[in-house]
């Protein structure tokens, strides 16, 4: 047994040596590859980035994680960040980087590809795909005619305890920011308070809400449109749930990209931004990730509500002051 | 029969290796322990840097009613989970090592496996199975049950975390039980104590260091977990920290809250230290420990098996059933389910190396604290080692990003950095297990080796380490299994493009591709089970721990 312990420790030391060799090897390798920090998962955009690489011959390496954590990482890395491009789940995170002066201005031809509401006012980031805030409801338990026309309807006593939301989620917070700008601070506060008093159930994020609606644990929930669509695709459309876009009080939120100010590979990074707004990439978003293409004059694919019919306030959703105001409101009302 | 003094003999605080009579421990020992402590202090330094940036705003954050309420919630959660984990883990360890429980080797392995499930996967599964309209409800629906009582909030979070943390207690106690000299128990029985009373009065006190080590791990896990509490809708401290990071993108406010968590950890450690005492847990006299005897459970054999079965079903069976269901759904929908071999290799190598390094890092700290209990330096080093484990993974990961990207860019985002992060996060697991084991080894044996001409180092290698083997193996197992499921550090600090089973599961569940999460999740359990089995296969070959039937 004496020998066994020594042996396992020696194996460990040998493994460690091996790791050092690997590390040095990785360091000495000249890295020309474009480094993308992605807040969107590999399941969503891995194939797309690979296609970009094949088409342009630009090697790409991707680090996947959560958007807010990617932003925090870049800020902690400071000037030594290896990242060239940040691909964020929501524009609030891009706005934070822009406020810290960490983003590079994008070329005009790229910015012109989307409507003004989907790009940074200073031209520092651009949305590449859109998601609608919708109401997911259980088709066995709710008659679509009974769904309220606006979000205020969920404050009615008949919906008590039957609705779910995710106050800690970035998309929800962007939604509340939009409501504040559309309807005013007081009206949004009233809505949050009456929703809270109506025993709206708090979930961690979108996916658990959709699962809870499917299970019949709640009857409706405030989510992004594509989670249900993806689950339906995995399960051949057999799930007893559907999305509904209310006529008022909703918005289109964008996922987008920005180029880091420290990047030494700006031309390649711009090529990636351009590629993501090409027709083939936009078709990928529409068909594979089931999102809205944002390229202007793209034909609408699939059966979803046209973008024009989803009113979004003409505001900069990436504004950090707005985000802070929303968080303060959510915390004041005890929702978060 | 040796006089195994489990209470009255104070542990000696002298070792021949000491050059300085005033300062205990050799220079080399102190230097190694100091190095480990400095590494573990990095997250704390980072938090102080971020906190001081917003110095005037600290007080309002600390005194916000919400901060206090989530603090209270976290303490309640940690206390309840620790109690549950100690009871289940100790019972399970005793049943599977020292009794004639039917199928004990099977139960020993199966009841430890919940350790490898990422807590958010376990929580997803528990909700799917036991939620108000989950699988259990649909089974009961023919009986007219339309809705089960809600498991959300405190009860659900407690249940989930207890189920994922009792294996820590079980592994620690198991190692201790195996190293226990049965003579004291036999003496107690021969003096007329019943089996139950002998367990309570003689065995339990001897198991204390192991139970304490496991309890600490469970408590810190409950304090720092985010996945389970957020899915189960319990408002804990970690949730407040995450809201600052992800919602407000405010690293400084998050740092203030995280510092409070560190303070809480130090309080827990101080409480633990006060109750430690100076007891010796090794054989006081000469002689060879006799083979251990199994207790006969008699009519309790089957109820005991049912207990193991139901815990295993809740903690492992339900998650496996739910993942199996996801797998079947994906199969039907024609998803590609092929696993990727490189991912398994990545998971196993990174976790394996971290396990070895963590145990090596734990050794100097443990030797200093056990052999020189009066050393303030040793005590401080040990406390530092616990910091990383009490913090949410995201905080530790960001701290290491901060230091390595700025000051060690050469090592940033390499496998070495990742292993370092794992060690900072999970060192306490190795520490607890090795400590409990070292307490069972009499310093006299080392002294004998010294008088026979061994250098301190040679005595360590040829006498102490071989005897420490159960503790070393347990420590490695704990660290290995926990690293296998680790997420934030892997995402932040692993080499770019480095995927593990845990990152695959996370990526898929994050976007609701549950069918794609199923294969890596099942592989995670399978690979971990295999590793446990290989480890124990070695252990069983060892005669010292053979147990007579």
d(CA A326, CA A333): 11
pLDDT at residue B390, as a whole number: 86
- Residues with Cβ < 8 Å from B293, sequence gap 6 or more? B182, B186, B547, B548
Which residues of chain B neighbour A26 with C-beta distances below 8 Å?
A: 414, 495
- Give the largest Cα separation in chain A, rounded: 76
CA distance, residue A109 to nearest chain B CA (Å): 31
Residue of A20, A77, A217 lying closest to B416 (CB–CB):
A20
Closest residue in B to A231 (Cα–Cα): B512
**Digit-coded pLDDT (tens) for A16-30:** 676 666 655 555 444
d(CA A176, CA A170): 10
Residue from A17, A18, A43, A176 whose CB has the most chain B CBs within 10 Å, to mutate: A43
Contact check, Cβ <8 Å, A9/B465: yes
Nearest alpha-carbon partner for A227 in A217, A214, A215 = A214
pLDDT at residue A192, as a whole number: 94
- Residues with Cβ < 8 Å from B441, sequence gap 6 or more? B282, B464, B467, B468
B281-300 b/e (C-beta count within 10 Å ≥ 16 → b): bbbbeeeebeebeebebeee
**Digit-coded pLDDT (tens) for A198-223:** 999 989 889 999 999 998 999 999 99
Average pLDDT, chain A: 86
pLDDT at residue B161, as a whole number: 96
Contact check, Cβ <8 Å, B357/A16: yes
Residue of B335, B401, B469 lying closest to A1 (CB–CB):
B469
Give φ, ψ of B15 to 5 degrees: -140, 135
Does the beta carbon of B149 lie under 8 angstroms from any beta carbon of chain A?
no
Domains and CATH numbers, chain A: 34-130+252-308 (3.40.190.10), 131-251+324-332 (3.40.190.10)
- Residues with Cβ < 8 Å from A301, sequence gap 6 or more? A283, A286, A287, A293
The CA radius of gyration of chain A, in Å to the nearest whole number, is: 22
Contact check, Cβ <8 Å, A16/B356: yes
**Which pLDDT band holds residue A282 (cuts at 50, 70, 90)?**
very high
Residue of B230, B249, B329 lying closest to A234 (CB–CB):
B329
d(CA B516, CA B531): 24
End-to-end Cα distance, chain A:
56
Show the beta-strand stretches assigned E in B243-379.
292-293
> DSSP state, B295?
B
Q: Say how many CB pairs under 8 Å bridge A and B.
A: 194
Query: Domain spans of chain B?
Result: 27-284+297-548
Which residues of chain A neighbour B497 with C-beta distances below 8 Å?
A: 61-63
Which residues of chain A neighbour B477 with C-beta distances below 8 Å?
A: none
pLDDT at residue A164, as a whole number: 95
d(CA B305, CA B174): 17
Contact check, Cβ <8 Å, A173/B332: no
Contact check, Cβ <8 Å, A204/B414: no
Residue from B394, B496, B497 whose CB has the most chain A CBs within 10 Å, to mutate: B496
Q: How far is CA A262 from CA A63, A98, A257, B32, in A?
A: 17, 13, 15, 38
Does the beta carbon of B65 lie under 8 angstroms from any beta carbon of chain A?
no
**Digit-coded pLDDT (tens) for A231-269:** 888 778 889 999 998 877 778 888 999 999 999 999 999
Does the beta carbon of B454 lie under 8 angstroms from any beta carbon of chain A?
no
Closest residue in A to B123 (Cα–Cα): A208
**Digit-coded pLDDT (tens) for B366-403:** 999 888 888 888 889 999 999 988 898 999 999 999 99
Contact check, Cβ <8 Å, A43/B511: yes
Tokens of A274: 């351009």
Residue from B249, B334, B407, B499 whose CB has the most chain A CBs within 10 Å, to mutate: B249
pTM: 0.88
Closest residue in A to B228 (Cα–Cα): A204
d(CA A191, CA A199): 13
Closest residue in B to A3 (Cα–Cα): B466
Alpha helices in B180-203 (DSSP H): 183-190, 195-198
Residue of B406, B410, B512 lying closest to A207 (CB–CB):
B512
CA distance, residue A177 to nearest chain B CA (Å): 12
Which residues of chain A neighbour B510 with C-beta distances below 8 Å?
A: 41, 66, 207
| SS (HEC) of chain A | CHHHHHHHHHHHHHHHHHHHHHHHHHHHCCCCCEEEEECCCHHHHHHHHHHHHHHHCCCEEEEECCHHHHHHHHHHHHHHCCCCEEEECCHHHHHHHHHCCCEECCCHHHHCCCCHHHECCCCCEEEEEEEEEEEEEECCCCCHHHCCCCHHHHHCHHHCCCEEECCCCHHHHHHHHHHHHHHCHHHHHHHHHHHHHCCCEECCCHHHHHHHHHHCCCCEEEEECHHHHHHHHHCCCCCCEEEECCCCCCCEEEEEEEEECCCCCHHHHHHHHHHHCCHHHHHHHHHCCCCEECCCCCCCCCCCCCHHHCCCCCCCCCCHHHHHHHHHHHHHCCCC
Nearest alpha-carbon partner for B222 in B352, B416, B64, B73 = B73
**Which pLDDT band holds residue A315 (cuts at 50, 70, 90)?**
low
Q: Strand pairing partners for B60?
A: none
CA distance, residue B67 to nearest chain A CA (Å): 11
- Above 80 in pLDDT, residue A316? no
Which residues of chain B neighbour A205 with C-beta distances below 8 Å?
A: 230
Which residues of chain A neighbour B239 with C-beta distances below 8 Å?
A: 168
Q: Write out residues 501-540 of B within 8 Å (CB-CB) of A.
A: 503, 506-516, 538
d(CA A32, CA A52): 15
d(CA B416, CA B357): 11
CB A65 within 8 A of CB B492: yes
Which residues of chain A neighbour B538 with C-beta distances below 8 Å?
A: 4
Which residues of chain A neighbour B410 with C-beta distances below 8 Å?
A: 27
pLDDT at residue A29, as a whole number: 46
d(CA A114, CA B174): 62
- Residue B21's CB: how many other CB atoms inside 10 A? 7
Residue of B124, B152, B510 lying closest to A41 (CB–CB):
B510
Closest residue in A to B544 (Cα–Cα): A1
Residue of A13, A65, A75 lying closest to B251 (CB–CB):
A75
| Owner of token pair 């402590």 | B37
Closest residue in A to B137 (Cα–Cα): A215
pLDDT below 50 — which residues of chain B?
1-22, 543-549
d(CA B77, CA A51): 48
d(CA A130, CA A115): 12
- Above 60 in pLDDT, residue A332? yes
Which residues of chain B neighbour A213 with C-beta distances below 8 Å?
A: none
Give φ, ψ of A88 to 5 degrees: -105, 150
- Up-side HSE of residue A216: CA atoms within 13 Å toward CB? 14
3-state percent helix, strand, coil for chain B, nearest multiple of 5: 75, 0, 25
| Owner of token pair 């090794």 | B282
CA-CA-CA-CA torsion for B545, B546, B548, B549, nearest 10 degrees? 110
Contact check, Cβ <8 Å, A233/B508: no
pLDDT at residue B547, as a whole number: 42
Contact check, Cβ <8 Å, A9/B416: no
Tokens of B38: 């400095």
Give φ, ψ of A136 to 5 degrees: -95, 135
Which residues of chain A neighbour B249 with C-beta distances below 8 Å?
A: 68, 71-72, 92-93, 96, 320, 323
- Give the largest Cα separation in chain B, rounded: 78
Closest residue in B to A217 (Cα–Cα): B133
Which residues of chain B neighbour A44 with C-beta distances below 8 Å?
A: 511
**Digit-coded pLDDT (tens) for B8-31:** 344 444 444 444 344 556 788 889
Contact check, Cβ <8 Å, B133/A217: yes
- Residues with Cβ < 8 Å from A213, sequence gap 6 or more? A136, A137, A138, A164, A219, A220, A221, A241
CB B435 within 8 A of CB B370: yes
CA distance, residue A205 to nearest chain B CA (Å): 8
Of the listed ranges A58-67, A157-166, B391-400, B532-541, the one predicted with least confidence: B532-541
Which residues of chain B neighbour A82 with C-beta distances below 8 Å?
A: 412-413, 496
Residue of A16, A26, A64 lying closest to B491 (CB–CB):
A64
- B27-284+297-548 fold: MetI-like fold (1.10.3720)
pLDDT at residue B287, as a whole number: 62
**Digit-coded pLDDT (tens) for B495-527:** 988 899 999 999 888 877 788 888 899 999 998
Which residues of chain B neighbour A202 with C-beta distances below 8 Å?
A: 233
Q: Strand pairing partners for A126?
A: A119, A257
CA distance, residue B218 to nearest chain A CA (Å): 23
Does the beta carbon of B233 lie under 8 angstroms from any beta carbon of chain A?
yes
Which residues of chain A neighbour B128 with C-beta distances below 8 Å?
A: 211, 215
CA distance, residue B212 to nearest chain A CA (Å): 25
């Amino acid at each position: 047994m004496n020998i066994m312990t020594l042996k396992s420790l020696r194996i460990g030391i040998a493994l460690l040596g091996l790791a050092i060799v690997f590390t040095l090897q990785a360091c000495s390798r000249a890295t020309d590859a474009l480094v993308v920090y992605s807040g969107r998962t590999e399941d969503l955009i891995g194939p797309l980035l690979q296609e970009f690489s094949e088409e342009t011959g630009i090697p790409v390496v991707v680090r996947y994680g959560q958007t807010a954590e990617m932003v925090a990482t870049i800020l902690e890395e400071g000037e030594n960040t290896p990242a060239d491009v940040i691909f964020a789940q929501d524009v609030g995170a891009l706005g934070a980087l822009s406020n810290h002066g960490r983003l590079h201005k994008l070329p005009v031809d790229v910015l012109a590809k989307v409507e003004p509401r989907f790009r940074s006012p200073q031209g520092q980031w651009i949305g590449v795909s859109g998601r609608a805030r919708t109401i997911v409801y259980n088709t066995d338990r709710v008659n679509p005619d009974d769904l309220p026309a606006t979000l205020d309807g969920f404050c009615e006593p008949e919906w008590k305890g039957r609705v779910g939301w995710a106050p800690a989620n970035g998309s929800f917070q962007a939604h509340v920011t939009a409501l504040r700008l559309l309807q005013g601070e007081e009206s949004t506060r009233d809505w949050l308070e009456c929703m809270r008093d109506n025993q709206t159930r708090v979930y961690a994020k979108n996916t658990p809400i959709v699962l809870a609606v499917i299970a019949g644990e709640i009857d409706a929930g405030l989510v992004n449109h594509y989670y249900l669509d993806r689950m339906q695709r995995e399960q051949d459309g057999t799930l007893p749930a559907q999305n509904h876009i209310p006529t008022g009080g909703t918005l289109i939120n964008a996922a987008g990209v920005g180029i880091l100010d420290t990047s030494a590979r700006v031309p390649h990074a711009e090529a990636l931004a351009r590629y993501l707004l090409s027709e083939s990439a936009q078709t990928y978003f529409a068909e594979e990730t089931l999102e809205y293409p944002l390229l202007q004059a793209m034909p609408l694919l699939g059966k979803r509500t046209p973008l024009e019919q989803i009113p979004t306030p003409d505001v900069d959703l990436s504004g950090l002051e707005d985000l802070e105001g929303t968080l303060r409101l959510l915390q004041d009302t005890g929702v978060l | 029969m040796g006089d195994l003094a489990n209470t009255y003999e104070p542990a000696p605080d002298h070792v021949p290796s000491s050059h300085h009579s005033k300062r205990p421990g050799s220079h080399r020992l102190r230097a190694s322990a100091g190095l480990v402590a400095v590494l573990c202090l990095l997250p704390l330094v980072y938090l102080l840097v971020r906190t001081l940036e917003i110095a005037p705003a600290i007080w309002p954050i600390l005194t916000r009613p919400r901060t206090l309420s989530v603090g209270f919630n976290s303490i309640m959660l940690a206390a309840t989970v620790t109690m549950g984990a100690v009871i289940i883990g100790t019972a399970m360890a005793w049943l599977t090592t020292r009794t004639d429980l039917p199928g004990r080797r099977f139960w020993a392995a199966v009841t430890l496996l919940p350790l490898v499930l990422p807590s958010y996967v376990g929580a997803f599964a528990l909700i799917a199975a036991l939620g108000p309209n989950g699988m259990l409800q649909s089974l009961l629906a023919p009986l007219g049950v339309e809705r089960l009582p809600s498991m959300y909030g405190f009860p659900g979070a407690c249940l989930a975390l207890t189920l994922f943390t009792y294996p820590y207690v079980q592994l620690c106690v198991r190692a201790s039980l195996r190293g226990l000299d049965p003579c004291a128990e036999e003496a107690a029985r021969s003096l007329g104590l019943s089996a139950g009373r002998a367990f309570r009065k003689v065995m339990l006190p001897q198991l204390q260091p192991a139970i304490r080590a496991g309890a600490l791990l469970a408590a810190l896990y409950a304090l720092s977990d985010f996945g389970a509490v957020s899915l189960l809708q319990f408002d804990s401290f970690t949730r407040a920290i995450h809201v600052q990071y992800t919602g407000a993108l405010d690293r400084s406010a998050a740092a203030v809250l995280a510092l409070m968590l560190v303070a809480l950890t130090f309080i827990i450690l101080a409480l633990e230290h006060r109750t430690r005492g100076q007891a010796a847990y090794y054989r006081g006299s000469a002689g060879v420990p006799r083979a251990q005897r199994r207790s006969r459970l008699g009519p309790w054999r089957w109820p005991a098996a049912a207990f193991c079965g139901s815990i295993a079903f809740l903690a492992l069976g339900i998650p496996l059933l739910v993942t199996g269901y996801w797998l079947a759904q994906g199969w039907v929908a024609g998803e590609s389910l092929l696993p990727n071999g490189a991912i398994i290799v990545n998971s196993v190598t990174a976790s394996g190396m971290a396990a070895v390094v963590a145990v090596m890092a734990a050794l100097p700290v443990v030797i200093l604290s056990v052999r020189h209990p009066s050393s303030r330096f040793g005590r401080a080093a040990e406390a530092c080692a616990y910091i990383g484990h009490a913090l949410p993974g995201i905080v530790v990961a960001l701290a290491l990003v901060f230091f390595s990207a700025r000051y060690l860019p050469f090592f940033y985002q390499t496998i070495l950095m990742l292993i370092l992060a794992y060690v900072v996060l999970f060192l306490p697991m190795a520490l607890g297990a090795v400590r409990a084991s070292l307490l069972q080894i009499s310093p006299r044996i080392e002294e004998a080796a010294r008088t026979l001409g061994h250098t301190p180092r040679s005595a360590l290698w040829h006498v102490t380490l071989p005897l420490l083997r159960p503790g070393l193996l347990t420590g490695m197992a704990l660290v290995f299994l926990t690293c296998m499921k680790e997420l934030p550090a892997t995402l932040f600090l692993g080499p770019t493009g480095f995927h593990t089973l845990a990152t695959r599961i996370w990526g898929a569940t994050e976007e609701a591709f549950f069918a794609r999460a199923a294969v890596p999740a099942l592989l995670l359990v399978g690979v971990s089970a295999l590793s446990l089995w290989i480890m124990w296969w070695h252990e069983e070959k060892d005669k010292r721990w053979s147990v007579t039937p």
